């Protein structure tokens, strides 16, 4: 289990325990945290689970795959710390991670 | 006024309907009845990550228990609905209960098509549709040396890919002359057959299975007049819709429950969504779609109609399949006679095939090519025309293609 903090665009915070091995997207969906749509269910096929990751953790999260890189191109309000949360696997190293959500996933 | 909504079938469509009904302000009672013992779960990973062991069962469930509690939705699981009384408006359940409704959503999905040959009931002959099916198949992977896969469709090939990871000897028997013939174009069929062959899978095309043989358990598969030894078999020859309850209740059905653009059946109090339905597709043809997208989108439109906000269903269908390192994504429905445009190089394991109908983008099949898929899906929805030579030119980024 690792603690992940999800911050909605409005600023509302949700801190939850997510099992290691799950994706950051699943941690949000399974805890009914709004703002991450994940239309495709985690297949890296929709770019609707876009988040901004905490700068302190950028080095601890494995680099983007080509697939994620190209899919992110279709997300709104892209920033250098943009990621697709379905592609971030929760590990003990990510305990304490904060992800922020964009204004909209579509 | 609608005060009681009952949903038959606890799958992807049910979850979407619950979410949309509550989001749209439906404040009445909501009950879902499903014949499987589990709350709604994702089926696509069953033949992929769940079968391979990469994903545990907990992760399959679409929503946590809190979702149903917050939505004040009662889940009745492990109990089949046995009849619909449309005059008195109630659903009879196998345990003797009956559920009164003002509006009913039938989302009974589909079941596997069974193979009707001698020996089909032998232990060792498996199907794949439910959690229980995979829980039975996965242990057999560990104790078997060889598997016969009957049917070279999505399920068969996804299982073949996982079986090779387990180092099983894999042979695919396909009655038609190419794999995934019902779902993809010949370029894709050839590509996937080659990839599987390179991974060590053997193919017997144009070869139907005549019998399963063995004394007490599967020992061989008879095909092409010969016996081939195997200790495991997986049959993936398609699915059949479950319109039985609707048919018995006198609703219009024809290989599926017939629904209009608002997902209403021939009874205005009864709606249907997902694999169990037949509808007029975007191009006007009557179709039955077997996919997650259709279950989600029809459930959304059915829910909107139930709360008095009908909007017509016209979303572009989409599908995906994971095999080895390949992500196949398809949008739209291909038809014979479409002009096919290849973008990229299959040898690079990254390419797409666009299908143009009268110059309009009608479908795209993308292998490890997400931009082609995403932009393609949008172009299909818009009915856009794009010159074939532009689509084929990988120097033009997909973002700027139209």
Q: Which 32-91 residues of chain A touch chain B by CB within 8 A?
A: 32, 40-41, 43-45, 47, 67, 70-71, 73-74
Domain B125-235 CATH (choose: 3.40.50.970, 3.50.50.60, 3.20.20.10, 3.40.50.2000): 3.50.50.60
Q: Which of A26, A65, A73, A89 to mutate to test the interface with B (most CBs of B within 10 A)?
A: A73
Beta bridge partners of B264: B271
Q: How far apart are CA A102 and CA A106, in angstroms?
A: 10
Q: Between chains, do A40 and B320 touch, taking CB under 8 Å as contact?
A: yes
A78 occurs within a structural domain: yes
Q: Between chains, do B327 and A73 touch, taking CB under 8 Å as contact?
A: no
A106 occurs within a structural domain: no
- pLDDT per position in chain B (402 positions), as tens? 679 999 999 999 999 999 999 999 999 999 999 999 999 999 999 999 999 999 999 999 999 999 999 999 999 999 999 999 999 999 999 999 999 999 999 999 999 999 999 999 999 999 999 999 999 999 999 999 999 999 999 999 999 999 999 999 999 999 999 999 999 999 999 999 999 999 999 999 999 999 999 999 999 999 999 999 999 999 999 999 999 999 999 999 999 999 999 999 999 999 999 999 999 998 888 999 999 999 999 999 999 999 999 999 999 999 999 999 999 999 999 998 999 999 999 999 999 999 999 999 999 999 999 889 989 999 999 999 999 999 999 999 998 998
Give span(s): CATH 3.50.50.60, chain B. 4-111+239-306, 125-235
Q: Biggest alpha carbon distance in chain B?
A: 65
**What is the third-level CATH fold of B4-111+239-306?**
FAD/NAD(P)-binding domain (3.50.50)
Give the total number of structural domains in chain A: 1
Q: Name the residue of chain A whose CA is nearest to B68's CA.
A: A32
ipTM entry: 0.80
Cβ-based interface (< 8 Å): residues of B facing A? 42, 44, 58-59, 61, 63-64, 66-67, 70, 292, 320, 322, 327, 329, 368, 370-371, 373-374, 399
Give span(s): CATH 3.30.390.30, chain B. 325-400
**What is the third-level CATH fold of B325-400?**
Enolase-like; domain 1 (3.30.390)
Q: How far apart are CA A65 and CA B68, in angstroms?
A: 35
Q: How far apart are CA B299 and CA B32, in angstroms?
A: 13
All residues of chain B having their beta carbon less than 8 Å from the beta carbon of residue A50 are none
Give the CATH number for residue A8.
Answer: 3.10.20.30
Q: Token pair 């690792």 is at which residue?
A: A2
All residues of chain A having their beta carbon less than 8 Å from the beta carbon of residue B322 are 43
- Closest C-alpha to B60, from B77, B78, B76, B48: B48
A105 occurs within a structural domain: no
Q: Name the residue of chain B whose CA is nearest to A75's CA.
A: B374
Question: According to DSSP H, which parts of B80-185 are helical?
Answer: 131-143, 154-165
A48 occurs within a structural domain: yes
């Amino acid at each position: 289990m690792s603690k992940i903090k999800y911050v909605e665009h409005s600023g509302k915070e949700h801190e939850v325990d997510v099992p290691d091995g799950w994706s950051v997207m699943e941690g949000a969906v399974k805890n009914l945290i709004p703002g991450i749509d994940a239309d495709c269910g985690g297949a890296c096929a929709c770019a609707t689970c876009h988040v901004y990751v905490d700068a302190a953790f950028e080095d601890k999260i494995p680099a983007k795959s080509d697939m994620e890189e190209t899919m992110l191109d279709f997300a709104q309000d892209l920033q250098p710390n943009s990621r697709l949360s379905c592609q971030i696997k929760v590990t003990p190293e990510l305990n304490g991670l904060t992800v922020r959500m964009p204004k909209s996933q579509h | 006024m609608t005060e009681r909504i009952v949903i038959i079938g606890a799958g992807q469509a049910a979850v979407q309907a619950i979410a949309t009904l509550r989001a749209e302000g439906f404040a009445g009672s909501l009950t879902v009845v499903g014949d499987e013992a589990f709350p709604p779960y994702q089926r696509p990973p069953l033949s992929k990550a769940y079968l391979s062991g990469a994903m545990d069962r907990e992760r399959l469930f679409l929503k946590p228990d809190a979702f149903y509690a917050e939505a004040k939705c009662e889940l009745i699981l492990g109990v089949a609905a046995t009849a619909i009384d449309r005059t008195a408006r109630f659903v009879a359940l196998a345990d003797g209960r009956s559920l009164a409704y003002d509006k009913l959503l039938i989302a009974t999905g589909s079941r596997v098509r069974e193979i009707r040959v001698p020996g089909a009931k032998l232990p060792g002959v498996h199907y794949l549709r439910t959690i229980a099916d995979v829980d039975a198949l996965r242990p057999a992977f560990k104790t078997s040396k060889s598997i016969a896969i009957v049917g070279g469709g999505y399920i068969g090939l996804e299982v073949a890919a996982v079986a090779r990871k387990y180092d099983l000897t894999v042979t695919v028997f396909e009655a038609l002359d190419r794999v995934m013939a019902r779902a993809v174009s010949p370029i894709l069929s050839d590509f996937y057959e080659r990839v599987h062959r390179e991974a060590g899978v053997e193919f017997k095309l144009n070869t139907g299975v005549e019998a399963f043989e063995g004394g007490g358990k599967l020992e061989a598969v008879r095909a092409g007049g010969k016996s081939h030894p195997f200790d495991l078999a997986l049959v993936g020859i398609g699915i059949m819709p479950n319109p039985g309850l609707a048919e018995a209740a006198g609703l219009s059905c024809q290989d599926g429950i017939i629904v209009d653009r608002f997902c209403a059946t021939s009874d205005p109090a009864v709606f249907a969504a997902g694999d169990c339905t037949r509808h007029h597709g975007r191009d006007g043809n009557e179709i039955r779609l077997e996919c997650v997208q259709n279950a989600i989108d029809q459930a959304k439109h059915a829910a909107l109609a139930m709360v008095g906000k009908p909007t017509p269903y016209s979303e572009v269908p989409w599908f995906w399949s994971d095999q080895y390192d390949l992500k196949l994504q398809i949008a739209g429905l291909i038809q014979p006679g479409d002009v096919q445009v290849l973008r990229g190089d299959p040898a690079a394991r990254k390419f797409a095939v666009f299908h143009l109908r009268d110059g309009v983008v009608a479908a795209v099949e993308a292998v490890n090519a997400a931009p082609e898929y995403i932009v393609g899906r949008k172009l299909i929805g818009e009915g856009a025309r794009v010159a074939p030579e532009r689509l084929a030119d990988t120097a033009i980024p997909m973002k700027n293609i139209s």
